[in-house]
Amino acid sequence: MYVAVKGGEAAIDNAHRLLADRRRGDRAVPALTLDQIAGQLALAVDRVMAEGSLYDRRLAALAVKQARGDLIEAIFLLRAYRTTLARFGYSEPLDTGAMLVERRISACHKDLPGGQLLGPTFDYTHRLLDEGLDGDASVEAGKIRAGAAEKVVRVADILADEGLIEGDGLATGDGPGDINHTPVEFPLSRAMRLQSLSRGDEGFLLALGYSTQRGYARSHPFAGEIRIGEVEVEVFLPELGFAVPVGRVQVTECQMVNQFKGSAKVPPQFTRGYGLVFGQSERKAMAMALCDRALRAEELGEDIVAPPQDQEFVISHCDNVQATGFVEHLKLPHYVDFQAELGLVRRMRAEYEARDREVAPVREAAE
């Protein structure tokens, strides 16, 4: 039962003023600029863009600042902003094969056209805190290696040459569904699942992906390829009659490769899970690919035995804006609700004690 309650206006105003004060902190310390946040906390900004489902570095940096670094709050702010903008249309599908690659690795093939390109990675760091960063010491620029550009061939294409891996399938021609407009009804198409996963919570998908590796869905994954870089975006404008290039976005793509023993219709081969996420978001793209593969259980004739294979479970709970809304709404006043529960528990307790009193004399008599 919900009853409107008035009051607390001054308390709320003062709380928000206090929030602004605490957010600013010590006035003797310079305020953070959005350029600093976007430039030096770039991966936090990328996570906010990915899960806020809005590619705009400056807005995401602003959200991080406003949320005092609470990334789920920042994601919430970005999602809210996104609803105020008109949607002009849809881009042409991004061509990740034509990416300006900043990182590309494969755990399946050592030697591959284009090479293993580590890029700006945390891998192989020793995870020792670097006290040198406590300050503003000068930092060397990256090294340069001259030489002609070599095409960074997609690993999926290399495996496809042998016919041992499933293809991507052909586009059906129908537009993909959109979870922003269509109420979610299960089972969802793979396209709509990928839309959900792409903005899903990194932590939730990471845990689910981890569970598939530990045996909660049959899965023997290899990181077929991870690539990070910028891709061109083109938007078809009807008044021009052709697709117009509007700039570039940075994305992370992950192809997980899984062994598949085959079925009555399909010979033994490798199947794939796919991850595509805004920004440099490698862990998220890998987790997404693991979850995508697990969610294909029904399509591939596998038994559904674990939570990561359950569409309703994964898709309904992966959105952290929904999740935080429902969990955090428990903070709001439930005074009337609680009074009703209190009355109920008192009554049940009284009945329980009355029953106890009736039983007790009988017991004494028996003794």
Partner 1 sequence: MGEIDDIAARKDRMAVLARADAGRLRALWSALGLDPAHRRLRGPESGLVTLRGRIGGTGEPFNMGEATVTRASVILADGAVGHAMTLGREPEKTELAAIIDALCHDRDTATRIDADLVAPIRHELATADEKRRQETAATRVDFFTMVRGED
Partner 2 sequence: MQRESIVLEGGFTDPVIESQAVFRALMDAMAHPARAYRIGHHAAPSVPIAATAAAVACAVVDADTPVWLDGALAIDAVRTWLGFHTGARFANSPGEAAFALIADGAGMPALQRFAQGTEEYPDRSSTVILQLSALDGGDALAFEGPGIRTRATIAPVGLPAEFPTQWRANRARFPRGVDLILTAGDAIACLPRSARLLAGEN
Which helix (H) or strand (E) element contains residue 276?
strand 269-278
Report the distance separating Cα 299 and Cα 297, nearest Å.
6
Residue from the set 205, 276, 287, 291 that interacts with partner 1 by CB under 8 A = 276
Q: State which of positions 103-132 bind partner 2 (CB under 8 A).
A: none
> Phi then psi for 102, rounded to 5 degrees?
-110, -15
Determine how many CB atoms are found less than 10 A away from the CB of residue 234.
16
Nearest 5°: the CA angle 218, 224, 229 is 130
Q: Is 300 in the site for partner 1 (CB under 8 A)?
A: no
Strands 269-278 and 242-260: antiparallel
Q: Is 90 in the site for partner 2 (CB under 8 A)?
A: yes
163 makes contact, choosing from partner 2, partner 1, none, with CB < 5 to 8 Å by partner type, with none
Q: State which of positions 108-127 bind partner 1 (CB under 8 A).
A: 110-111, 115-121
Residue from the set 7, 22, 29, 89 that interacts with partner 2 by CB under 8 A = 89
Q: State which of positions 178-217 bind partner 2 (CB under 8 A).
A: 178, 181, 183
Minimum CB separation of residue 133 from partner 1 in Å reads: 21
User: At CB < 8 A and 24+ separation, what contacts does 159-168 make?
Assistant: 159/108, 159/224, 159/257, 159/270, 163/269, 164/269, 164/270, 165/257, 165/269, 165/270, 165/271, 165/272, 166/260, 166/266, 166/269, 166/270, 166/271, 166/272
Minimum CB separation of residue 30 from partner 1 in Å reads: 24
Q: What is the DSSP-derived secondary structure letter of residue 228?
A: E
Residue from the set 1, 29, 86, 133 that interacts with partner 2 by CB under 8 A = 86
Residue from the set 3, 4, 7, 88 that interacts with partner 2 by CB under 8 A = 88
Q: Is 85 in the site for partner 1 (CB under 8 A)?
A: yes
Tokens, residue 20: 């602004």
Query: Is-contact 74 38, C-beta < 8 A?
Result: no
> Phi then psi for 352, rounded to 5 degrees?
-65, -45
Q: State which of positions 227-256 bind partner 2 (CB under 8 A).
A: 238-239
Q: Is 142 in the site for partner 2 (CB under 8 A)?
A: no
Q: State which of positions 256-315 bind partner 2 (CB under 8 A).
A: none
Q: Which stretch binds partner 2 (CB under 8 A): 23-31, 81-89, 134-142, 356-364?
A: 81-89
Q: State which of positions 45-84 bind partner 1 (CB under 8 A).
A: 50, 53-56, 58-59, 82
Q: Measured from the CB atom, is 85 or 139 closer to partner 2?
A: 85
The closest of 217, 227, 92 to 156, measured between CA atoms, is 227
41 makes contact, choosing from partner 2, partner 1, none, with CB < 5 to 8 Å by partner type, with none
97 makes contact, choosing from partner 1, partner 2, none, with CB < 5 to 8 Å by partner type, with partner 1
Interface with partner 2 (CB under 8 A): 86-90, 178, 181, 183, 238-239
